[in-house]
Structure 1
């Protein structure tokens, strides 16, 4: 696991690091879709085909994820629902009421597109 700052340049730099390894990964899960776009560029520079040689998954499902080549598999966050829950909390607190819970769990959705495939069985 490599850590980064979730930006394009960091995805590019970490992607290049991963793709230069002798034990090159068959898949990368980036922390954001923007970071995943950096991994796409790293793969392009190293001549690594997505998804044939490297599956890539992002997080956020920003609009450009569907426009990438190949379209990016990503995790969709329920942003509208997150905003609604945050607004309810702020209103409750501003009215002097306690928060209903210290944690709110919201479901995410995997949006499967063309950047992922099963790993190859050939060495």
Structure 2
């Protein structure tokens, strides 16, 4: 579901640059089925435009925290539902990912941290 990303350690930079999500197909998926994907509190809805086959990818999403109304850090649950005519016909297992909140530091911030640490050691 998450190619090229370690679900146990999604970095701040990755979350803001964009995490690619692949939703696998199934022979039970039909044209006009609706896929509802959940990334924590965020929900994305899309329709299938053709029947799915086994070993296919029916949706590729790029989730970037720059555009999410609810940027969540720490443990975040991901899953999706497949709906047909408003009825849920399938749900994926929940994948729990760890999104780390550690924004990159500037050289000035690193220098300030060093000087504070030195003062604390001298005390």
Higher-helix-fraction structure? 1
Please say whether Structure 1 and Structure 2 have the same fold, judged by a TM-score greater than 0.5. no
TM category, shorter: under 0.3
Kindly indicate whether structure 1 or structure 2 has the higher relative contact order, using CA contacts under 8 Å at least 6 residues apart: 2
TM-score by length of 1: 0.22
Higher-strand-fraction structure? 2
Larger radius of gyration: 2
